[in-house]
């Protein structure tokens, strides 16, 4: 396992590129697949709530990581970043599982709230695509102790990741009345 980790770290740009393509392609492909025929199992119906909960934890972990690094507590910062990556990874598995089984939910709101919802949704999706390589590159540069590179990356990564995790929860709150 340690050898695999060393290979990943030595080839972090290739790893980031491959993971970015695979993750984003998988999410796009899922939006074109037909959903599960029949009534979804109760557990599957609960996955959007789980996704929002995981996004909430990611947001909180990132805020705590930011506070920790501002206080120059690198160890605590790293632990919160590991937490954020853990909840994001769990979110990704849950999200992919749900969208593999369920059809996309259509937003039913109208007027100004619909405009707000679609603005949040579109910016969330576009920035979620961008955050994948940024978060991975930031993680690898920090893990490898490349402080200058890490600082340059996280100036973009942290606010974007905070936005994506927060708006993921907001999208859930706005669309949850329309889940069947």
What's the CATH superfamily of 40-178?
Cytochrome c oxidase, subunit III, four-helix bundle (1.20.120.80)
Domain boundaries, the chain: 40-178
> Is the model more confident about 60 or about 2?
60
- Residues 66-122 have pLDDT tens digits of 999 999 999 999 999 999 999 999 999 999 888 888 887 888 889 999 999 999 999
Give CA separation, 131 vs 85, 106, 153, 167, 179, in Å: 12, 25, 11, 13, 27
Position 33 pLDDT exceeds 80: no
């Amino acid at each position: 396992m340690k050898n695999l980790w060393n290979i990943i770290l030595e080839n972090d740009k290739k790893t980031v590129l491959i993971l970015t393509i695979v993750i984003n392609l998988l999410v796009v492909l899922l939006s074109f697949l037909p959903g599960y025929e029949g009534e979804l199992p109760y557990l599957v119906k609960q996955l959007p709530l789980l996704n929002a909960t995981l996004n909430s934890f990611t947001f909180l972990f990132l805020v705590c990581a930011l506070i920790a690094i501002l206080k120059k507590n690198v160890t605590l910062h790293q632990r919160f970043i590991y937490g954020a990556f853990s909840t994001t990874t769990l979110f990704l598995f849950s999200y992919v599982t749900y969208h593999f089984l369920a059809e996309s939910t259509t937003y039913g709101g109208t007027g100004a709230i619909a405009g707000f919802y679609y603005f949040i949704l579109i910016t969330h999706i576009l920035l979620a695509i961008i955050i994948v390589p940024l978060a991975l590159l930031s993680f690898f540069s920090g893990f490898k102790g490349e402080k200058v590179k890490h600082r340059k990356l996280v100036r973009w990564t942290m606010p974007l990741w905070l936005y994506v995790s927060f708006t993921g929860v907001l999208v859930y709150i706005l669309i949850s009345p329309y889940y069947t």
